[in-house]
């Protein structure tokens, strides 16, 4: 049985840290509204604005995948809520995996989640270009097509470096603004719904199960972020209470908007047009009201929404390496904080995301968004699986300090459902995405060997 360890950063986040944070006018803890906005802002990022076009080639059967995905995401959110109540510390999946299974499992969770965050940032920036092109024609120049996503990545990074106080403010504004186009299409689109635009129920020859799994793997990208409040638990006021509530409220709100929005786009934009669309929500609004003014307004809000999502994801990308660095499992530079933000984590993440963006565009722009999405689907399932496995471990081991006995059966069912959901997503990611994801994962094993050796030498 694995030894349950107590992370060293648990002691380091005591009164001295809180006192230092309160003295820094640029650092501020999040309340329930901002924590919920962080969850919803990261879930409803840029993915939803492009995903209707990405799954349209599979046919309307992808709506079935969306419904199943929503049930799995809610189960996963409930599991994170339970875990965060017992382990309300910055790091989320890393903290849970390390508590249950030791350093190596914790490192794998941190490494995989870190990869997920910066690859997601690259994917979000690529998605934003489609809507930015509605406002400014950047597609006519390769240099402009590359420069646009780089600008969208570095702007939120600078906001993060300014301090958590500004991260929360930007997140609230972006979350409010993104609801305007989404609600407009999700609710208004139902009045313009035309079943003739839906296209075939199942397109392609992969079979019903294959189509559902493949479209679900792409759609998972739209639900990445359910763990946002748990990862940033150390920055949330009263985390034992607020992290779980923010996780559930944010996920449920996002699920309703997602399902209605995707259905409305399918019913307002002709299927043949949707398959090739770079801005499906703008196309839907143009169809609803005629002309191009509505689509232009939606494009503006979509770009702001994606910038807000990048703002939140940039914060998350630094939090997990920060927690691991506190325990000596990531380089110490990731443990340095300024204005409440792990600055090195922010900078390293934005540089890696920028390099990946440039590489994917120079290697060929076709299918860039879809491939990045599928890679993050695989890498995200590693910390998700380890987190649900940790919950199952706590339940099965009968740890009185970890488990509420009266809720044992319910929590066990939720954990099993979340674990099965994560395994299903791995199967639907596709061979190419799993291949690239495994390469990223195995590279982390070498980093762990190096960090463990340094840690052991320092302990002698």
**Mean of pLDDT values over 107-128:** 83
Q: How far is CA 41 from CA 298, 339, 390, in A?
A: 17, 22, 27
Which of 266, 338, 446 shows the shortest CA–CA distance to 25? Answer: 338
Q: Specify the range with the lowest mean pLDDT, choosing from 165-169, 238-242, 301-305.
A: 165-169
pLDDT in tens, 173-182: 666 666 777 7
SS3 string, the chain, reads: CCCCCCCCHHHHCCHHHHHHHHHCCCCCCECHHHHHHHHHHHHCCCHHHHHHHHHHHHCCCHHHHHHHHHHHHHHHHHHHHHHHHHCCCCCCHHHHHHHHHCHHHHHHHHHHHHHHHHHHHHHHHHHHHHHHHHHCCCCCCHHHHHHHHHHHHHHHHHHHHCCHHHHHHHHHHHHHHHHHHHHHHHHHHHHHCCHHHCCCCCCCCCHHHHHHHHHHHHHHHHHCCCCHHHHCHHHECCHHHHHHHHHHHHHHHHHHHHHHHHHHHHHHCCHHHHHCCCCHHHHHHHHHHCCCHHHHHHHHHHHHHHHHHHHHHHHHHHHHHHHHHHCCCCCHHHHCEECCEEHHHHHHHHHHHHHHHHHHHHHCCCCHHHHHHHHHHHHHHHHHHHHHHHHHHHHHHCCCCCCCHHHHHHHHHHHHHHHHHHHHHHHHCCHHHHHHHHHHHHHHHHHHHHHHHHHHHHHC
- The predicted pLDDT at position 399 comes to 58
Specify the higher pLDDT residue, 61 or 29. 61
Angstrom distance (rounded) from CA 334 to CA 350: 14
**Mean of pLDDT values over 241-256:** 78
- The predicted pLDDT at position 448 comes to 87
Are 326 and 7 within 8 A, CB to CB?
yes
* pLDDT of 436 over the 50 cut: yes
Give the burial class of 104: count Cβ atoms within 10 A of its Cβ; 0-12 exposed, 13-18 middle, 19 or more buried.
middle
* pLDDT of 39 over the 50 cut: yes
Percent of the chain with pLDDT over 70: 75
**Mean of pLDDT values over 57-71:** 81
- The predicted pLDDT at position 14 comes to 39
* pLDDT of 26 over the 60 cut: no
* pLDDT of 452 over the 70 cut: yes
* pLDDT of 22 over the 70 cut: no
Are 106 and 6 within 8 A, CB to CB?
no
- The predicted pLDDT at position 322 comes to 84
- The predicted pLDDT at position 4 comes to 34
Predicted confidence band of residue 333 (pLDDT cuts 50, 70, 90): confident
- The predicted pLDDT at position 80 comes to 81
**Mean of pLDDT values over 156-168:** 69
Neighbours of 397 (CB within 10 A): 13
Q: Specify the range with the lowest mean pLDDT, choosing from 44-48, 332-336, 451-455.
A: 44-48
* pLDDT of 1 over the 50 cut: no
Which of 372, 381, 382, 385 shows the shortest CA–CA distance to 436? Answer: 372
Q: Specify the range with the lowest mean pLDDT, choosing from 44-58, 163-177, 282-296, 383-397.
A: 163-177
Predicted confidence band of residue 19 (pLDDT cuts 50, 70, 90): very low
């Amino acid at each position: 049985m694995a030894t349950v360890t107590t992370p060293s950063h648990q002691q380091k986040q005591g009164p001295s840290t809180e006192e230092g944070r309160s003295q820094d006018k640029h650092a501020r803890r999040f309340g329930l509204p901002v924590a919920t906005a962080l969850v919803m802002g990261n879930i409803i990022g840029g993915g939803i604005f492009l995903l209707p076009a990405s799954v349209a080639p599979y046919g309307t059967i992808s709506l079935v995948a969306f419904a199943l995905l929503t049930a799995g995401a809610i189960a996963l959110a409930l599991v994170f809520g339970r875990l965060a109540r017992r382990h309300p510390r910055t790091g989320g999946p890393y903290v849970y995996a390390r508590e249950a299974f030791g350093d190596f499992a914790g490192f794998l969770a941190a490494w995989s989640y870190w990869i997920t965050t910066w690859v997601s940032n690259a994917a979000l920036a690529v998605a934003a270009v489609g809507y930015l092109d509605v406002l400014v024609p950047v597609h006519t120049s390769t240099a402009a097509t590359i420069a646009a996503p780089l600008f969208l990545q570095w702007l939120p990074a600078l906001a993060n470096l300014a301090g958590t106080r500004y991260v929360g403010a930007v997140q609230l504004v972006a979350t409010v603004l993104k609801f305007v186009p989404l609600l407009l299409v999700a609710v208004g689109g139902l009045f313009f719904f035309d079943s003739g635009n839906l296209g075939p129920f199942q397109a392609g020859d992969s079979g019903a199960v294959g189509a559902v799994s493949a479209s679900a793997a792409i759609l998972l990208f739209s639900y990445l972020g359910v763990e946002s409040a748990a990862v940033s638990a150390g920055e949330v006021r009263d985390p034992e209470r607020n992290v779980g509530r923010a996780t559930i409220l944010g996920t449920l709100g996002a699920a309703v908007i997602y399902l209605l929005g995707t259905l409305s786009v399918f019913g307002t934009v002709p299927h043949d047009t949707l398959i090739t669309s770079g801005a499906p929500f703008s196309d839907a609004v143009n169809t609803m009201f005629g002309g191009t003014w509505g689509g232009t307004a939606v494009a503006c809000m979509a770009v702001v929404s994606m910038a807000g999502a990048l703002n939140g994801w940039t914060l998350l990308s630094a939090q997990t390496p920060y927690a691991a660095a506190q325990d000596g499992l990531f380089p110490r530079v990731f443990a340095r904080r300024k204005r409440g933000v792990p600055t090195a984590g922010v900078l390293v993440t934005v540089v890696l995301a920028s390099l990946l963006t440039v590489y994917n565009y120079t290697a060929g722009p076709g299918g860039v968004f879809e491939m990045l999405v599928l890679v993050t689907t695989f890498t995200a399932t590693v910390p998700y699986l380890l987190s649900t496995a940790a919950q199952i471990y706590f339940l099965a081991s009968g740890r009185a300090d970890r488990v509420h006995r009266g809720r044992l059966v319910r929590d066990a069912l939720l954990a099993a459902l979340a674990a099965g959901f994560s395994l299903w997503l791995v199967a639907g990611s596709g061979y190419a995405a799993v291949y690239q994801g495994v390469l990223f994962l195995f590279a982390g094993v070498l980093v762990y060997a190096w960090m463990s050796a340094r840690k052991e030498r320092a302990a002698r």
